[in-house]
Amino acid sequence: MLRPESPELLSPANYDGDAASLRSPSEQDSDSEDDEFLRHPRSTLELAKHDRGVLDDEDELEKLLTRRGPTHGLRRMFSPNGSSVRIGRKERRRARKEARLSRRERVSEEGELMYEMEEGIGDDESLMSGSSIDLGEDDYIYNPPSKPSWRKYSLIFALVVVLFLILILGAYKASTDFRAAHALSKPLLSNGTALFAPTTILISLDGFRADFLDRGLTPSLNSLVADGTSPQYMNPSFPSVTFPNHFTLVTGLYPESHGIVGNTFWDPEMKEEFYYTHPSVSMLPKWWNAEPIWVTAEKRGVKSGIHMWPGSEAHIGTPEPTYVDKYNGSEALSRKVNRVLEFLDLPGAEDESQLSPARPQFIAAYVPDVDRDGHNYGPNSTEIETTISRADEFVGGIVAGLKSRNLTDVVNIMVVSDHGMATTSNERLVQLDDIIDLGLVDHLDGWPSRGIRPKRPEDLATLQAQLEKASPNYAHAFEFYTRETMPERYHFKHNDRIAPLWVIPKTGWAIVERPEFDAAEALKTGKVYHPRGIHGYDHEHPLMRAIFIARGPAFPHTPNSRLDAFQNIEVYNIVCDSLGIDPLPNNGTLRLPLHPVGLHSDENTPPVERPADPPAPASPTVVSPEPTSPASDAPTEPSASDADSHAEKGSWWGSLLDKIVEWKEWAGELITADKNNHPQGA
């Protein structure tokens, strides 16, 4: 067995001076045989094979290496049992070269192209195996890697896409935090104990007519006017009803643009009816076709707290408000005060590192009381005076809460209303059944204005002709329009939810249909028409005027500043600017800072208009139109003289009571005006 210390192999006596090999005496005679073996390429290849085989046979390996051991350029190798041997570098390189040549393509007997495998020729264990031989760098044969398949490329591409999406989502989340941080990066105001980012409270007093401020019932609101800035009045949008105008206040869009075109309306595409008193229907997001300010604010990292605002429960867009209070029409006003102040008492941006404070920056609160009692008792009733006073106390409670928290100059407060109110009367009723054939009508939209949708397209011309025929007798009571002839200032034509034909009553008038209410029968019996107060008329009529009052750091105007009157489409931009967020495109044009035109107390300030209710006609408007169709069985209205006799026989007492109420209201307005002109201590 060959060993590293074998004197026969390593002794200088075995070195022949050829510098080519070290040979043992026993192998000298085989030299010529090996030389012949190496002279031919194929023989060299066989040597490579033989070498590999010998490596597995210890005796044969010993013989080969002792015959061909080099004297220079030696490389140490190990036999399978760990013995040390040496082979010539020259022979090894030559063998490798011939092996590469032999691996070129060869053709088999059948003519097929064959290739040798990279691991070696034959089925034996590779020379590269660490268990058989330890070779140097130049002993390896380079084998270029195979090209990746299309499946691998697809997998890599998919991984890149997934990573890209993950980066996008992460960037979005980071941008949300950045927007919140950006909102907080605006100057923070301190009340001495906490830091406040721009914060605005928007309060809506539903049905609060502008001239209610001049009845001596609203000290808190009048004080807010004296400390802040306001116009003498603000015009609502048409139609001047609650849901369209509240959505206009928080979108800056006309009703025809945001889609809530009335408190009730028919959608011809969905073939469904929106009815504001049915939350299971009206609070579905499909009706609300614009983004309200609370969604815009939340997208920009500004939290919102919404207290019963009409439409806030409809899940309009995402993200939704941080806080939403479900509508409760019977909630006490004192509880509403506490709720608004609870929002302000939540933890806020006490330091700039807090990117997501709990305190909302936009707070909206809705008060239905004035509108409710205006409908129930009328805008000039004794009951409504009490309700107006309580609404004023509500605002006073919030103002006092701001003051006690040292937030008067830190938090903005805006008080608005959506419309005014007009008194109804039995003498100001129009019986629609007696003017048009309701048998041709599929849907009646809106109230008190009536949108008429015919059953068939050809019925539209018939209904329009009937209205044209009756209108001379009702010129003082209503106007009628097609959608195309609607006055431009109404901005009420570019939406399929707007009916093709409209009967719009004059302010103070109401349109009724049997069997809900029979106007002629009421005149006979003295039955009083309800509701006692109505809105929804021409939005520019004095009785429909609303209010806008603002005070706070976003309104650094001279106290008691007076603005020119504007329409409520402007409120949205003003609120957005007060919060430091960019508004979405809308119909408004006003932006902060506002530009007052003077003070309310200036001598050249126009006097406050105190509109009176429309007077009752000299005789009830009961006309006997010709039958709308030969088959119509609608009763013919009595003539004016007959109506007078009926009034004398049955309804004179009701008319007298109405007159007494009107005289009382007139006297009360005179007393109020005198108090305003001669305040105590002046």
In tens, the pLDDT along 460-511 reads 999 999 999 999 999 999 999 999 999 999 999 999 999 999 999 999 999 9
Does 390 have pLDDT greater than 90? yes
How does residue 372 score in pLDDT terms, banded at 50, 70 and 90?
very high
Does 293 have pLDDT greater than 80? yes
CA distance 47 to 94: 10
Does 83 have pLDDT greater than 90? no
452 DSSP β-pair partners: 444, 501
At residue 631, what are phi and psi to the nearest 5 degrees? -85, -5
CA distances from 662 to 35, 334, 379, 385, 427 (A): 139, 33, 11, 15, 14
The pLDDT value recorded for residue 117 is 39
pLDDT mean over 124-149? 49
pLDDT mean over 239-267? 98
The whole-chain average pLDDT of the chain stands at 78
The pLDDT value recorded for residue 23 is 45
Which is the catalytic residue, given 242, 387, 423, 424? 242
Q: Are 288 and 304 in contact (CB under 8 A)?
A: no
> Could you tell me which residues come within 8 angstroms of residue 574 by beta carbon, excluding any fewer than 6 positions away?
414, 550, 590, 591, 592, 594
Q: Are 321 and 305 in contact (CB under 8 A)?
A: yes
How does residue 662 score in pLDDT terms, banded at 50, 70 and 90?
low
The pLDDT value recorded for residue 62 is 54
Does 647 have pLDDT greater than 60? no
Q: Which run of H or of E encompasses 98?
A: helix 89-102
Q: What percent of the chain lies above the pLDDT cut of 70?
A: 65
The pLDDT value recorded for residue 619 is 54
The pLDDT value recorded for residue 515 is 86
Q: Are 309 and 364 in contact (CB under 8 A)?
A: yes
The pLDDT value recorded for residue 159 is 84
Per-residue pLDDT of 221-232, as tens digits, reads 999 999 999 999
CA distances from 573 to 251, 297, 327, 478, 569 (A): 9, 12, 26, 35, 8
The pLDDT value recorded for residue 464 is 97
- Is residue 387 among the annotated active site residues? no
The dotted CATH code for 186-420+545-606 is: 3.40.720.10
480 DSSP β-pair partners: 503
The torsion defined by the Cα of 213, 219, 225 and 228, in degrees rounded to 10, comes to -160
Per-residue pLDDT of 592-634, as tens digits, reads 999 999 999 998 898 888 888 877 665 555 444 444 333 333 3
How does residue 11 score in pLDDT terms, banded at 50, 70 and 90?
very low
CA atoms in the 13 A half-sphere facing the CB of 354: 13
Per-residue pLDDT of 530-562, as tens digits, reads 999 999 999 999 999 999 999 999 999 999 999
Q: Cβ-count burial of 396 within 10 angstroms (0-12 exposed, 13-18 middle, 19+ buried)?
A: middle
Q: Which residue has the higher pLDDT, 171 or 558?
A: 558
CA distance 227 to 209: 21
Closest CA to 64 of 82, 38, 41: 38
How does residue 348 score in pLDDT terms, banded at 50, 70 and 90?
confident
CA distance 652 to 680: 42
SS3 content of the chain, % helix, strand, coil (to 5): 40, 15, 45
The pLDDT value recorded for residue 507 is 96
Per-residue pLDDT of 570-603, as tens digits, reads 999 999 999 999 999 999 999 999 999 999 999 8
Q: Are 596 and 230 in contact (CB under 8 A)?
A: no
Lowest mean pLDDT among 117-131, 415-429, 435-449: 117-131
SS3 529: coil
How does residue 410 score in pLDDT terms, banded at 50, 70 and 90?
very high
pLDDT mean over 419-429? 96
CATH code 3.40.720.10 region(s) in the chain: 186-420+545-606
422 DSSP β-pair partners: 534
CA distance 185 to 178: 10
Closest CA to 508 of 598, 329, 674, 379: 379
The pLDDT value recorded for residue 358 is 92
Q: Are 22 and 15 in contact (CB under 8 A)?
A: yes
How does residue 114 score in pLDDT terms, banded at 50, 70 and 90?
very low
Q: What percent of the chain lies above the pLDDT cut of 90?
A: 59
